[in-house]
Structure formats: structure tokens, C-alpha cells
């Protein structure tokens, strides 16, 4: 069943189409990533879903509600974690989350939420002295204190160090495993790959590609890169069929092919015959970030009005 349904959504500003007949669905219990370059229409779309902006046309349903006319009920059932939240630095963690809990009819247990976000041992600390990662975990705690069915996460780990990012990832995964539907906006492709079960890439107000991250990577991957150690030039007796696609630099030979299986077969046969050491060989496909940049570039290069 859909937690969010968007059908033919349109929104323009001063004659410029920010969202153009946009359609997609988010299923209950999944983590859905909405991606796109600046100006793609992501923020406008999410604000419409949250009930903070009116659409020009189209149909939007969030948890079975119309965000435009049933805003109060929608706010009771959803949580928001914005890129930044203005918090009172002199209040403690406990005081801050207690104040937020009073805004909801049936909030979650405060102690349980602080344990969830690993801040229970710091609840007496003032907000102003928290690290970036601790403050972000507090902001997520404020977003889930109302026991929401759906949480919007806007760039949840921007500016955090790797350890803090991983802790936030673990928290998001725990929320999702407990049945919470999550809509994630992020510029980090490794974050999307780690967290999202489904993703959509927006360009110029429309969906350029949609699906599971791994499926999109497989569908749009155009080549594989094979690397192995090689000093100076290609070794003697190197297969002629592979020479044109192989370059040597910085002590490594790099071979770019559409299908790596035949190339690997030729390489291993050659290595066995010549005695060349291939213990360092590696095969890599285009990353999700490569695919994202490729799709965005292709879509932006199309004449205005072309469909995906």
C-alpha cells in the first residue's frame, strides 16, 4: 500500500515550471530517496508533500490525506528533520525534547527516544555544547518524538565526520526496521546505496529514472574497468584483442570494456601462459554516483520538453 502517491503534480514560479507533471509512489515501510541537482524541483515537491506549499495542479496523497486541506492531521502523523533546526542553546537535551513532546497528543516515551538516538547519557548537557553529530541525533529525536508513521529526512548527514555519519545511518535503518516510512533527500550516493530501498532522480521537475539503487546501477551501467599491475608498457605477448582498450599509467594497466567476462578469460589465459602475476587484478563497475551524473547530464542535454 502506498504511503505517498503523486500523480501529474505541477508547480510553477513566475512562469517557470519547477515541477512538471511529476508522478511517483512511496510504499509503506520503505526508505525512498528523492535525488536531483539544485533546481530540479526536489524541495518544492517535498514541501508540497509536507503541506507547506500548494500545488498548481495534480493529485497528492500522503498517508491517505490531502496535504493541502488536512495539514493538521498530517503533521500529527509525520516527522520532519530539516537540514538545520534552530534550537535554544541554553536548554538541555532533556528540556528540548520534553518541550517538543508536548506538541503531540501521543508522543513516544522520551527516555526510549533518547536511548534510540544514543543521547540518554548526555540528556543533561546543554544543546550549545553538543558536537555536530550529537546535535544531528537530537534533531532526529525531535523528528520522531511524535511517533510518526512517515519521516522526511533532508540531508541528514551533511557536514558530519565519517563516524557520526555511520551512527546516523544505523539510527535511520533502525527506524525503518521498526516500520517507519522514510523519505530521504541526500547528495551522498553512498548514503543512498546504504539506506534506500527505492530511489528517484529528478531533473527539470520530472523523474529521469526510478527504481532500486542496484537495479538502476545494473540498467544504466555501460562499462567495467579492469586493473592489474604493469610497469611501463604492456607486457610482451599481451592479447592483441585487448591492446587497443588498455592503457598503462602509474604502474597499473587499465582496461575498459562493456562486458568484463570475455576480457577476464583472455587475461587469465595469457597470464597462465606467460607467467604474469595477476594477483592484483580488480574489476569495478560504474558507481551509483557515476550513474546519477550520467543520467542528470543526459536529461539536461535534451531539448526542453522532451520526455524521459
How do residues 155-172 score in pLDDT, each as one tens digit?
Answer: 998 888 888 889 899 999
CA distance 17 to 249: 47
Torsion of CA 42, 43, 44, 45, to 10 degrees: 50
How do residues 242-288 score in pLDDT, each as one tens digit?
Answer: 998 999 988 889 999 988 999 999 999 999 998 888 888 999 888 88
Structural domain boundaries of the chain?
A: 2-89+144-219, 223-285
Report the pLDDT value the prediction gives residue 123, as an integer from 0 to 100. Answer: 96
Report the pLDDT value the prediction gives residue 303, as an integer from 0 to 100. Answer: 58
**Strands laid side by side in the 198-203 sheet:** 78-81, 150-154, 181-185, 31-35, 198-203, 206-211
pTM of this prediction?
A: 0.81
Residue ranges in the chain whose pLDDT is less than 50: 305-308
Report the pLDDT value the prediction gives residue 223, as an integer from 0 to 100. Answer: 85
One-letter-per-residue 3-state SS of 54-101: CCCEEEEEECCECCCCCHHHHHHHEEEECCCCCCCCCCEHHHHHHHHH
- CATH class for the region spanning 2-89+144-219: alpha beta
CA angle 201, 207, 208 (to 5 degrees): 70
Which residues does residue 17 pair with via DSSP β-bridges, in sequence order?
Answer: 12
Amino acid at each position: 500500500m502506498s504511503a505517498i502517491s503523486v500523480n501529474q503534480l505541477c508547480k510553477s514560479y513566475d512562469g517557470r515550471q519547477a515541477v512538471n507533471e511529476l508522478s511517483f509512489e512511496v510504499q509503506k515501510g520503505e526508505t525512498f530517496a528523492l535525488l536531483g541537482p539544485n533546481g530540479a524541483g526536489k524541495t518544492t515537491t517535498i514541501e508540497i508533500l509536507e503541506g507547506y506549499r500548494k500545488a498548481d495542479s495534480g493529485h497528492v496523497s500522503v498517508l491517505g490525506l490531502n496535504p493541502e486541506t488536512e495539514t493538521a492531521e498530517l503533521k500529527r502523523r509525520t516527522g520532519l528533520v530539516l537540514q538545520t533546526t534552530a534550537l535554544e542553546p541554553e536548554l538541555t537535551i532533556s528540556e528540548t525534547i520534553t518541550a517538543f513532546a508536548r506538541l503531540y497528543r501521543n508522543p513516544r516515551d522520551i527516555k526510549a527516544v533518547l536511548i534510540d538516538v544514543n543521547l540518554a547519557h548526555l540528556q543533561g548537557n546543554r544543546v550549545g555544547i553538543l558536537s555536530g553529530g550529537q546535535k544531528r541525533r537530537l534533531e532526529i529525536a525531535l523528528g520522531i518524538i511524535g511517533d510518526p508513521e512517515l519521516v522526511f529526512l533532508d540531508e541528514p548527514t551533511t557536514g558530519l565526520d565519517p563516524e557520526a555519519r555511520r551512527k546516523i545511518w544505523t539510527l535511520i535503518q533502525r527506524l525503518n526496521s521498526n516500520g517507519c516510512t522514510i523519505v530521504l533527500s541526500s547528495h551522498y550516493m553512498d548514503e543512498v546505496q546504504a539506506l534506500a530501498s527505492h530511489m528517484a532522480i529528478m531533473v527539470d521537475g520530472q523523474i529521469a529514472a526510478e527504481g532500486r539503487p542496484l537495479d538502476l546501477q545494473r540498467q544504466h551501467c555501460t562499462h567495467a574497468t579492469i586493473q592489474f599491475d604493469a610497469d611501463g608498457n604492456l607486457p610482451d605477448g599481451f592479447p592483441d584483442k585487448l591492446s587497443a582498450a588498455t592503457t598503462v599509467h602509474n604502474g597499473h594497466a587499465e582496461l575498459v570494456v562493456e562486458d568484463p567476462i570475455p576480457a577476464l578469460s583472455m587475461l587469465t589465459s595469457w597470464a597462465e601462459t606467460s607467467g604474469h602475476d595477476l594477483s592484483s587484478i580488480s574489476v569495478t563497475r560504474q558507481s551509483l554516483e557515476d550513474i546519477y551524473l550520467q543520467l542528470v547530464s543526459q536529461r539536461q542535454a535534451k531539448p526542453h520538453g522532451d520526455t524521459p
